[in-house]
């Protein structure tokens, strides 16, 4: 099985600090006053955590994301959601259940192997081994789960600045700080997780400064991901291609969720960023008037895209439980996301926190998007939603343009480009070496500790 690399957003990992050397299993950690705890976050606008449905009445849990078998059916039944402008949260259409992110294995379970079923582990389907290799690397360096190594998974549907996620991160930082004996935490974030950390800094700078020593971020779309996100709002997201796609969540099923997710709108291209070339959407249109037909290539810049989104999605709807649910372009979410962009633009790194940025290079990365063709033009803009796009590409990791990932606006200790894909960066040897160097650790001696996830999902209905 091959998971599609483009348009794939993940989140962070975090390291804490400050265990005594005697608490480590032969690994070598930096012994300075700010050195060793690791906390890991990971989140994704496109679904990079394990998520469970939990029956409100009975409390029983079943994994609904990520799963290989019966994926599309369970996804539509339990994860399809709508945005509630009164609360700011995206809420499941199934009001008998709630969606939760399991925090087993000290928060590492939900970001380790995204489908931890026995079926996946026996076949060693490494495409869903998300932070698995990085967690193993850190364990080999001497980090101990629950003492100096933690994870933080959260509901990828929600805004990166929503209270629930901010409170969860605050609690995780406090717990890691206490577990380390009162020493500061080092954070490693990936993709959208970097935006969550940025929002936390802007809203809780004093707390971040109190608990955090170093922040390493990987493949973060600081200024958005134009090609991927513009297309996601119009046609959806395809995780699996080829024959295997019949067994996974369909592109359109994913679209009907993501069009109601603030996290996706928050990764639209920043209108305030000075792009080398302004991102655009193009549409080959057919116009008929007085029995005459003309074909034109229409271009939508950043100020015109809203009109395109409105027209393309005005008839968008889904059927849930026999009821029709209208899902047009959501102006309430867009307004909220614009507020998030303002927060991100004013974020300043607290003094005393060291920042490092790793970004992907050498991969064709979607930037501009085009629908239709001169030989097969689009009549009504609503047809776009069922049309496969053509991209123009720039350099990046296949998902996030390097131009965006580099533009953190912080005073970085180092920014390093690595030739790897968006997900591939999480298992890249050069990335691992950079992380070890920046954390001041080594893996000279392998630790005698289980490297795999402590939690095995054995529920047969989750396969």
Return the number of other C-beta atoms located less than 10 Å from residue 163's C-beta. Answer: 13
Say if strands 317-320 and 323-326 run parallel, antiparallel, or are unpaired: antiparallel
Compute the distance between CA of residue 283 and CA of residue 377 in angstroms, rounded to an integer. Answer: 8
d(CA 445, CA 200): 36
How far is 273 from 364, CA to CA, in rounded Å?
Answer: 21
| Measured distance CA(10)–CA(239) in Å, rounded | 13
Question: Among all residues, which ones are annotated catalytic?
Answer: 191, 397, 422
Contact 377, 239 (CB under 8 A): no
Q: Read out DSSP for 84-103?
A: ETTTTEEEES-TTEEEE---
CA distance linking residue 165 with residue 200, whole number of Å: 9
Do residues 2 and 100 lie in contact, with contact meaning Cβ atoms separated by under 8 Å? no
Q: Are 156 and 263 in contact (CB under 8 A)?
A: yes
Q: Give CA–CA dist 35/313, Å, rounded.
A: 50
| Segments in 204-285 forming alpha helices (H) | 205-211, 226-235, 251-258, 262-265
Q: Which residues pair with 323 in a beta bridge?
A: 320
Q: Give the separation between CA 377 and CA 297, rounded to whole angstroms.
A: 9
Sign of CA dihedral 443, 445, 449, 451: positive
- Buried b / exposed e over 187-211, threshold 16 CB at 10 Å, is bbbbbbbbbbbbbbbbebbebbbeb
Q: Could you give the CA distance from residue 375 to residue 392 in angstroms, rounded to a whole number?
A: 19
Taking the C-alpha atoms of residue 53 and residue 51, their distance in angstroms, rounded to an integer, is 7
Q: Is the Cα dihedral 153, 155, 157, 160 positive or negative?
A: negative
């Amino acid at each position: 099985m091959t998971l599609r690399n483009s348009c794939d957003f993940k989140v962070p990992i975090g390291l804490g600090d400050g265990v005594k050397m005697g608490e480590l299993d032969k690994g070598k950690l930096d012994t300075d006053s700010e050195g060793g705890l690791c906390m890991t976050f990971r989140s994704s606008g496109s679904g990079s955590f394990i998520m469970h449905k939990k029956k409100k009445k009975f409390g029983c849990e079943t994994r609904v994301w990520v799963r290989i078998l019966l994926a599309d059916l369970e996804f539509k039944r339990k994860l399809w959601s709508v945005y509630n402008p009164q609360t700011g949260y995206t809420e499941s259409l199934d009001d008998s259940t709630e969606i939760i992110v399991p925090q087993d294995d000290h928060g590492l379970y939900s970001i380790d192997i995204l489908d931890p079923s026995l079926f996946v582990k026996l076949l060693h389907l490494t495409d869903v081994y998300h932070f698995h290799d990085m967690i193993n690397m850190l364990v080999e360096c001497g980090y101990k789960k629950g003492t100096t190594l933690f994870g933080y998974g959260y509901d990828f549907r929600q805004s990166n600045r929503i209270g629930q996620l901010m409170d969860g991160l605050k609690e995780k930082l406090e717990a890691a700080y206490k577990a380390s004996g009162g020493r500061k935490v080092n954070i490693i974030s990936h993709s959208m997780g970097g935006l969550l950390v940025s929002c936390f800094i802007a809203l809780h700078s004093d707390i971040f400064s109190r608990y955090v020593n170093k922040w390493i971020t990987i493949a973060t779309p600081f200024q958005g991901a134009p090609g991927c996100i513009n297309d996601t709002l119009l046609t959806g997201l395809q995780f699996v291609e080829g024959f295997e796609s019949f067994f996974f969540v369909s592109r359109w099923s994913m679209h009907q969720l993501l069009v109601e997710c603030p996290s996706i709108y928050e990764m639209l291209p920043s209108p305030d960023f000075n792009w080398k070339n302004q991102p655009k959407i193009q549409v080959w249109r057919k116009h008929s008037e007085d029995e005459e037909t003309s074909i034109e290539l229409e271009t939508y810049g950043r100020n015109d895209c809203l009109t395109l989104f409105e027209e393309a999605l005005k008839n968008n709807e889904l059927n849930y439980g026999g009821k029709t649910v209208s899902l047009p372009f959501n102006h309430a979410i867009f307004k909220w996301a614009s507020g998030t962009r303002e927060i991100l633009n004013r974020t300043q790194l607290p003094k005393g926190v060291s920042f490092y940025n790793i970004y992907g290079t050498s991969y064709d990365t979607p930037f501009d998007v085009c629908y239709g063709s001169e030989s097969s033009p689009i009549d009504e803009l609503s047809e776009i939603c069922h049309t496969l796009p053509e991209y123009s590409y720039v350099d990046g990791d296949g998902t996030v343009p390097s131009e965006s990932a580099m533009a953190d606006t912080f005073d970085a200790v180092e920014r390093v480009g690595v030739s790897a894909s968006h997900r591939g960066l999480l298992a890249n040897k050069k990335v691992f070496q950079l992380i070890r160097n920046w954390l001041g650790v080594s893996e000279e001696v392998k630790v005698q500790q289980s490297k795999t996830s402590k939690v095995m999902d054995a529920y047969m209905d989750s396969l």
